[in-house]
Copies of this chain bind each other. A is one copy, B any other.
Amino acid sequence: MQEKQPRPTSFDVARRAGVSQSAVSLVFGGKAEGRVGKRTQEAILQAARELGYHPNRAARTLRSGRSRIVALVVPDVSNPYFAAVLQGAEEAARTSGYSVLLAQLHEEQDWQHVVLDALTSRAVDGFLFCTLQPPSESIAQVLQGKAIIVDETYQGLPSLQLDVETGMQAAMEHLIHLGHRRIAHLGAAVDATSFHQRHHAYQAALHQAGLSFPADYLARAAFTSADASRAAHQLLTCPEPPSAIVCDSDVLAVGVYKAARALHRSIPRDLSVVSFDDSIIASMLDPELTTVAIPARTIGAQALALLLQALEEGTAPASLTIPLTLMIRASTAQPAG
């Protein structure tokens, strides 16, 4: 290990252990059981340890066609939600001997070719996609058996779904039980199924409770607290302002807090706030935020498990749905008066 360039190969290990190179390969490939004798295996491991041998990944990949690397495709890792998904995925990958490569797609429309490159150059075995525009049909074809879509569905690619409807329903029931009748929705200005689902479930809940939905009870904001603040201000200054606001994400709730403070409305006395995520932000806000928890780390881990299932067993895994739980904290209360 200290000399220059020992960089031992399986041949070196074989020579030292007095066995064939194939035996070494079998042992390190985990295919030794019933093929290589116990003693031989031990001799091989011993020799490998002495030499500091590790199989060359590139050679293995070239020969087997599998890199044991998967790519996580997200728009932006600095978003705490995606960072947590990545964290879960990395942990799950590691326990299975895989590694996770990050692929951020910022604004790129042409992400499809990035994916194709990675695949045809055999750099990665598979993909985890998080909230992106769905792939074109021809790409979806190529991705069969090599990709899991998180929180979207497309073209029969297996996916990890979030039970957003039930989550929103729980949030709305909570508010309605508290006595709220004027409930507005601050949505994310993102064209993704998950956000459409939130709005549909919101409307369904209103309808079921026999509540009305004035046109000015819907606002949309980009994924920043600044824009959310602007949108919330609009909601709070309409003729008959809501007593509660449901937000699509914790980041948006931050904007609501800011707008409320600027307008001298106290949370939760004058205004109740519920959102989605339960990111680090939720317990940092004051009062702490009532929010529908999206267990991002678990999602990353589960999605990765599905992907490995597809990759290793070749079985198209059934899509999985993750339930969401409402975390009731201090930002919701009975409406004043």
Contact = CB atoms under 8 A, between A and B. Distances in A.
A100 interface: yes
Q: Interface on chain A toward B: helix, strand, loop, or mixed SS?
A: helix
A284 B90 CA distance: 28
A99 B99 contact: no
Interface in A166-203: none
A121 interface: yes
B100 A57 contact: no
Identical copies of this chain, number: 2
A318 interface: no
Q: How large is the interface on A (under 10, 10 to 19, 20 to 34, 35 or more residues)?
A: 35 or more
A90 B78 contact: no
A54 B77 CA distance: 27
Contacts of A58: 58-59, 61-62, 67, 122
20 contacts: A1-B138, A1-B142, A54-B117, A57-B67, A57-B121, A57-B123, A58-B122, A78-B87, A90-B102, A90-B103, A91-B104, A99-B102, A101-B102, A225-B283, A254-B284, A257-B286, A258-B286, A280-B281, A281-B284, A286-B286
B90 A77 contact: yes
Interface of A: 1-2, 7, 52-59, 61-62, 67, 69, 76-78, 80, 83-84, 86-87, 90-91, 94, 99-104, 116-117, 120-123, 138, 141-142, 225, 254, 257-258, 261, 280-281, 283-286, 297
A158 B56 CA distance: 27
